[in-house]
Amino acid sequence: MQIASLIVTFGAVALAVAVGIWAYRITSGARMAQAVWRRRMGDFEDRIARSDSVFGAYPGLVLVWDQPPLDETATDWGQPRIFGSSVALASLLRFADASDGPDPAGILMEGLADYEARSAGGEDTTLRRRFTDLMQQGRPFSLTILGPSGRFLEVDGRAAGTQLVVWLSDSTIRGLEESGARGRIEEARRLVSQDPLAFLDMLGKAPFPAWRMNGSGRLEWVNLAYVTAVEAEGPEQVLQDQVMLDAGLTEQAEKVMRDGHPDSDTRAVVSRGQRCAMRFEVFPVSGAAAGFAIDVTEAEEARNNLQRFRQAHDETLNHMAEAVIVFDRSKALSFYNTAFSHLFGLDEAWLNERPGHAGLLDRMREKRLLPEQANFDQWKADELARYNAAPNEEMPDELWPLPDGRTLRVAVQRHPLGGLMLIFEDKTDELALRARYNTLINVQRATLDKLHEAVAVFSSNGRLQLHNNAFETLWSFDAEDLAGQPDFDSVAETCAGLFADDRVWTDVKARVTDPSPQARKQVTGEMRRTDGRVLTYLTRPLPDGATLICWDDVTDSRRIEEALRERAEALETSERIKTEFVEHVSYQLRTPLTTINGYSDMLAQGFAGPLTDRQMEPMNAIQTAADHLAKLIDDILDVAAIDAGQLELDLGDVDVADVARETMEFAQARAEHHSIKLDTDFKGHSTLIRADKNRVKQVSMNLVSNALRHVAAGGQITIGTQQEGDMLTLWVADNGEGIAPEQQVKVFDRFARGERGGAGLGLALVKDIVQLHGGWVELESEPGKGTRVSCHLPLEARSDTIPELSLT
């Protein structure tokens, strides 16, 4: 056990000695290395001290970035190292209107980033943009930044390997003269610098709100209009409380300072208790922002009203039947209505792409929707030249005859908002109707000129629209007197020289110009002019509101009427005298004729002794002549009674066949004496009619007697009847000498003597008696072949219907 303990103790001592030796060697090397590093640290500290002394003597700052900021937009400036004097840092922070903080480098760079600056080449720029170029592209820069109170800052940026270095120096601290950049900036502000107090006074009294903000977005200055707009007590209260005219004002200022470009925006605000629209104009100024606000409420209302008006205008145009298309100032299509697309059949999708005027004309030419032009390019150039025409230059309407047969009226006018507006109206039907109307008018004029009546047409406003040549001739007008549609008064004044009755002209004028239904009636009248002419006139209202007046010269008619009236009176007197004469003569003749008949009968019967055969022949002649004379007197009396309307029919049932047989029996002896054959022809029908039997017998006797006188010995006479409907015909035919055609129209005239001889009352009386019964007489005759006289009698006698005599 002891041996083991000794061995262990010995081993431990040996190990301790070895460890001590090894530790000594190690600590000796460390002390030597430490001494070396201590010397080097001392050198470094001397060098740093000397560098700090150098940087401390530099009248500015040096910012060094080991790594570029991660934010490429340079809104996060990273953690650069700062070298330079603390005095320069404090001065530059005041220059940038920034306060000290945990990141003075970032605060300083953000405060200087958007100040107005000039590059060495005289270009307007900002530190933010130049630092971004340095960070992204390694592009060095040298800037002069103009700060407040006339201070200038020189800034230089360079890339040093992987590091970025920015030198900042305050020219005022360095005691340098104004740089060229300040001179250029001051030159731009020369007008303001000549009288800055007046400029500030003017801006302070401006009627619109104006303000200035620093780089941190705080208000630095406001004018009185701004104070009034926010209803503050004064500028001090506005600056102290930072009262913003609008909630978006700070954001807009930050955008302007960040981008370095002016910004304009219109927003609705509440100013002095009223809601209004204001346009905010904000622009960058020396690392800060300034702006002013203009009340555009009326302008916005006007713009909205204009927009609504344009919408209403477009809707109105869209409901028009005419096609409408509008081009703006740039000659681009800005509007077309539905009628336009329908009229030309163009693709609406293509029209919605707003083609130009020239392109539209080319497309329409391709589709043959334009008039054919010999030089289309020149015609298109003339159409497009309307945009450059003088404002007061007239643009007459045009007619476009299209290849498809349509004719369009094209009206071009300037659009109130600029550009041109074209209106297309399809005049095809109208032109066709107008041509037809003109043709109709010409036909009417030609027709009126052919009339002998004078015709004039006056419109509802009293203007002469139409007249014929007879009107000019009747009223002694010259053609130029009626040119230009003279009014009614002018026409009436000329006519008054021949007819001066003002009452008539006033009444005619009322028919022309008065639209009332009482006046719009047809009126006739008569005018007796001073030259002796007699005119009848007629006024007739026409459907279109016009009035037609027609004059007819009836002077000759009046003269003829007067002559006829005198003649009628004379004839009436003559007829009365004749009737009286006939009645008187007939009465005076009947008395001696009765005596002659009485004594002749007595002598023939042997009252004075028997007569020899030689004496009987004259006695028979006397009796025959006396009978004929008695019959003639009866006929004359009957004719006179008929003319006087005093012959009345004694109607009853008459068998016409029996009457005809009696007549044949009465004429049988005379017919045998002359060797004439008598015959009857009664069809198998009823011959019973309602008539005056004595008058029917008189008709039958007259017809047979007339035939006996004109039939030669050996001839034949036939009497018969025939029924057709409600008429019964009694006819007598012979095969005698017949009647010449020129004599046939006279055989029924009274007292007419023709080739056949006779007193001319037999057939005339037949016609009168048949007409009294309501029938008529028909004659058929041919020379050498005989004559047939037919009396058509109604089954019921009626005297109210008397047809004309029919001759065949």
**Residue 341 tokens, joined:** 């697309």
pTM of the model: 0.35
How many other CB atoms are found less than 10 A from the CB of residue 229? 24
CA-to-CA dists, residue 343 to 337, 360, 427, 782, angstroms: 10, 14, 12, 80
Nearest-angstrom CA–CA distance, 506 and 227: 81
Amino acid at 492: A
Strand (E) or helix (H) holding 146: strand 141-146
DSSP 463: B
Nearest-angstrom CA–CA distance, 651 and 20: 195
How many other CB atoms are found less than 10 A from the CB of residue 695? 23
Task: Return the residue matching tokens 């392109």.
Answer: 359
Phi and psi at residue 221, in whole multiples of 5°? -155, 140
Residues in the chain: 808
DSSP 66: S
CA–CA–CA angle 578, 582, 583 (5° rounding) = 120
Nearest-angstrom CA–CA distance, 806 and 54: 158
- 465: Cβ–Cβ under 8 A, 6 or more apart, which residues? 457, 458, 459, 485, 546
DSSP 213: E
Nearest-angstrom CA–CA distance, 687 and 675: 29
DSSP 296: -
Burial of 370 (0-12, 13-18, 19+ CB in 10 A): buried
Nearest-angstrom CA–CA distance, 376 and 326: 22
- 492: Cβ–Cβ under 8 A, 6 or more apart, which residues? 505, 508, 509
Long-range contacts of 746-750 (CB under 8 A, 24+ apart): 747/779, 748/777, 748/779, 748/805, 750/639
Nearest-angstrom CA–CA distance, 793 and 727: 6
Nearest-angstrom CA–CA distance, 273 and 483: 72
pLDDT at 719: 92
Strands 651-655, 688-692: pairing kind: antiparallel
Nearest-angstrom CA–CA distance, 266 and 243: 19
Strand (E) or helix (H) holding 183: helix 180-188
pLDDT at 183: 44
Strand (E) or helix (H) holding 408: strand 407-414
CA dihedral 144, 148, 149, 154 (to 10 degrees): -20
Query: Is residue 334 within 8 Å of residue 354, measured between CB atoms?
Result: yes
Burial of 204 (0-12, 13-18, 19+ CB in 10 A): middle
Q: Average pLDDT of each block of 10 consecutive residues along the chain (808 residues)?
A: 59 65 60 68 65 64 80 69 76 69 78 78 79 85 74 83 82 48 44 54 78 85 87 87 87 86 86 80 83 82 74 73 87 87 87 90 90 90 85 82 90 82 88 84 76 85 85 83 84 86 85 79 86 88 86 85 82 70 64 74 75 75 69 66 68 89 86 87 83 88 86 90 89 89 79 49 82 89 90 78 41
Nearest-angstrom CA–CA distance, 111 and 96: 5
CA-to-CA dists, residue 738 to 284, 664, 665, 759, 766, angstroms: 138, 21, 24, 18, 18
Closest alpha carbon to 783 in 727, 750, 742: 742
Burial of 605 (0-12, 13-18, 19+ CB in 10 A): exposed
**In 741-768, which positions are buried (b, 16+ CB within 10 angstroms) versus exposed (e)?**
eeebeebbebebeeebebebbbbbbbbb
Amino acid at 186: E
Nearest-angstrom CA–CA distance, 164 and 125: 20
Nearest-angstrom CA–CA distance, 799 and 804: 13
